[in-house]
A and B are shown apart, each in its own frame.
Chain A
Amino acid sequence: MSINKVVNSFDEAVADVYDGAIIFIGGFGPANGTPSNLIRALVKQGAKNLTLAANTPGLGRMQAPPPGMQRRAPERKIKMPPNYDNGGLLIQNDQVIKCIAAFPGNAMPGVPSPLHDRRLAGLLEVEMVPQGTLAERIRAAKAGIPAFYTPTGPGTLMEKGKEVREFNGVPCVLEYALKGDFSFIRAYKADRRGNLVYQGTSRNFNGAMAGASTVTIAEVDYLVELGDLDPEGIATPGIYVDRVVVRKNPEEGI
């Protein structure tokens, strides 16, 4: 058995993340596809000046509103999975200087929000990218395509400072590949070669980000024997995955 990508702990999996690294974090809102344990391990590890790329970096853990303010009930109730943390935790811990995101969310007036508060204080830069452009920039990095033209964005703020060129009468914006140093992704099952399957809409950005960074680390619920995953149904071929860490108690985190 020469290939074995399984590492023993989340701490070990993120030990070599360095200051200034670009970290991709998979997930989409409350879907159970966020690598919460890798995020918590990186908080413990403490690397600074990070750039996060994620659809929604997240609001971190809920903070109490300041004295005299009452938290407004969210307009639509969104349930969160148990044992869930998002990239906002790294922002709260002052490890992040830049976020590349499609949906940072809106801060509620008067209520603390790690991303928005630090942005206003000049401690954090936010680069807004349309969701499809973000996905394609990541896919391009994985596929070895340095840049591409997309029809998304002409006539809006998104074309500012970028080359716009017409193809078949359609104006398109030049966008560059986005490569990460570390992709943190969440999957359901893995084998020791790093082949992955997901569950439902938990695949989201995880599938896109696998292989788009120098190092891809997959947090998974279950490790299975080689051959147990149906080759026809593998969503992420193991070639894109460098490390696999198994959640100690998958039932607890669903």
Chain B
Amino acid sequence: MPEKLDEQTMGLRVAKEFEDGMIVNLGFGIPTMATNFIPEGKEVVFQSENGVLGFGRTAITEEEQDFHLINASGQMVTRQPGMCFFDHAESFSMIRGKHIDLCVLGGLQVSEKGDLANWVIPGREPGSIGGAMDLAFGAAKLMVVMTHVTKNNEPKVVKECTYELTAPRCVSKVITDIAVIEITPEGMVLKETAPGWDVEAVQALTEPKLIIADDLKTIEF
């Protein structure tokens, strides 16, 4: 089997979606990796539901680490000019009020229709919703970044979600460790494959029948 993308590389691919001037919320886990890869020459403002707009990359050095500045994953991040702080009620006014341009969440399952399940695995109740449900409704555009299959090799890109939903019909694009898939009214369109992965190999790990994009290409970073 060809090599799959690691989390950092998936974060790098997520960052390619950032456009100049966008307000972006990155969910718990892999999505927060994208904080470190803002495309050159673009101004991107990150919102985190724990009450900050406009923070910088992940903190690395001792001096940078500050317990008063964390992202939604609980990682310490850095200060930037123009940032601001607010409380949780204000934060979710921004989210539900449709003021966030793009949200990238982690996922357990994404269905053909764009349903998302990402907060509870059967047998691991009660699970943890966090802000995902509000973000799935409130963000102007929602993408999911996740591994393509579970640790037991079960597909996570499925016909129907079998786990409890975060929100129905909310996902527009899925970025995985082997492919980039767009969700359209016609079905799931395979747009990009990871280096070394062909259409058959991706389809074999995907439940719904994929529509192959005319301009299918290898993932670029």
Contacts and interface: CB of A to CB of B under 8 A. Distances in A.
A-B interaction: yes
Interface of A: 28-33, 55, 76, 78-79, 81, 102-107, 119, 126, 128-136, 138-139, 150-153, 155-158, 198-208, 235, 254
Given A203-B86, A204-B51, A132 B69 contact: no
Interface in B85-140: 85-92, 95-96, 124, 126-134, 137-138
Contacts of B68: 31-33, 199-202, 254
Given A131-B49, A152-B133, A201-B68, A206 B76 contact: no
Contacts of B29: 76
Nearest to B92: A132
Nearest to B28: A103
Nearest to A140: B89
A78 B59 CA distance: 12
B75 A200 contact: no
A201 B70 contact: yes
Interface string B59-78: 00000011111100111100
B110 to A, nearest CB: 15
B50 interface: yes
B31 to A, nearest CB: 12
Contacts of B12: none
A107 B120 CA distance: 12
A17 B183 CA distance: 52
B202 interface: no
B136 to A, nearest CB: 8
B147 interface: no
A31 B70 contact: yes
B70 A131 contact: no
Given A106-B127, A133-B134, A198-B85, A204 B96 contact: no
Contact of A156 (B86, B126, B138, B167): B167
A131 B93 CA distance: 12
Nearest to A99: B126
A152 B96 contact: yes
A135 B50 contact: no
Given A32-B68, A81-B67, A208-B87, A136 B126 contact: no
A119 B201 CA distance: 42
B164 interface: yes
Contacts of A131: 49, 88, 92, 129-131, 133-134
Nearest to A236: B87
Given A106-B124, A131-B134, A156 B164 contact: yes
- Residue picked from A28, A33, A128, A132, most chain B C-beta under 10 Å: A132
B48 A201 contact: yes
Contact of A203 (B85, B127, B130): B85
B166 interface: yes
A126 B128 CA distance: 11
A229 to B, nearest CB: 16
A130 B89 contact: no
Nearest to B76: A79
Contacts of A150: 96
Smallest CB-CB A-B distances: 4 pairs = A207-B87, A132-B134, A200-B68, A132-B92
A199 to B, nearest CB: 4
Contacts of B74: 29-31, 78
Interface string B147-189: 0000000000000000011111000000000000000000000
13 contacts: A28-B70, A31-B68, A32-B67, A33-B68, A76-B29, A81-B67, A107-B124, A128-B127, A131-B92, A135-B87, A201-B50, A208-B87, A235-B87
B14 interface: no
Contacts of B24: none
A200 B128 contact: no
A152 B88 CA distance: 15
A124 to B, nearest CB: 10
Contacts of B166: 156
Contact of B87 (A102, A106, A199, A206): A206
Nearest to A200: B68
Given A131-B49, A155-B167, A157-B164, A103 B89 contact: no
Contacts of A152: 96, 133-134, 137-138
B52 interface: yes
A103 B129 contact: yes
A181 B212 CA distance: 58
A4 B74 CA distance: 36
